[in-house]
Amino acid sequence: MFSANDYGIGWALRHLREAEIDLREAEASRLWGPLCVSAMRHAQSALYHALGDRELLERIVRGASEADVDGGDPLLRYLIRVERLIESCSSDGGGDRGSRLREARLVVDSASRVGRLLSGGFD
């Protein structure tokens, strides 16, 4: 089902690096809201690349999220939760800085763990 190939893993690693940079900048910046969202989007892209076809997964998850379908698959439920969290952070104008930074860190860390599981450990 998954195709964690070198190409996808390479892109996943790049997006995870970008997510970490955005998150560090968010911690030190007054513009933390957009940087938190950017970090989460990069982490989400890393997940999609590690899982295989980014564009296909993006369509599936957005469609399921918009249709309010949780699905029976735990991975799909997780991806939908990530999508909804990002949408929530994007639309509420910032929210509480501390909670947004924690949420962004959670998404980045979980994307990294999932990527490691699928790839046998990022090299």
Instruction: Give the span between the Cα atoms of 23 and 93, in whole angstroms.
Output: 17
Residue 115 contacts residue 51 (beta carbons within 8 Å): no
* 107 C-beta neighbours (distance < 10 Å), count: 26
CA 89, 37, 90, 76 torsion: positive or negative? Answer: negative
Task: Output the pLDDT for position 122.
Answer: 55
Residue 111 contacts residue 51 (beta carbons within 8 Å): no
The DSSP 8-state label assigned to residue 31 in this structure reads T
Domain count, the chain: 1
* 83 in any annotated domain: yes
Short-list 6, 14, 27, 13, CA closest to 114: 13
Mean pLDDT, contiguous 10-residue spans, the chain (123 residues): 70 94 95 94 95 91 85 86 92 81 95 82 57
* 41 in any annotated domain: yes
Instruction: Give the span between the Cα atoms of 113 and 16, in whole angstroms.
Output: 11
Task: Output the pLDDT for position 65.
Answer: 86
Task: Output the pLDDT for position 72.
Answer: 77
Task: Output the pLDDT for position 3.
Answer: 52
* 1 in any annotated domain: no
* 33 in any annotated domain: yes
* 57 in any annotated domain: yes
Domain that holds residue 28: 6-119
What's the chain's Rg over C-alpha atoms?
A: 14
* 49 in any annotated domain: yes
Task: Output the pLDDT for position 96.
Answer: 87
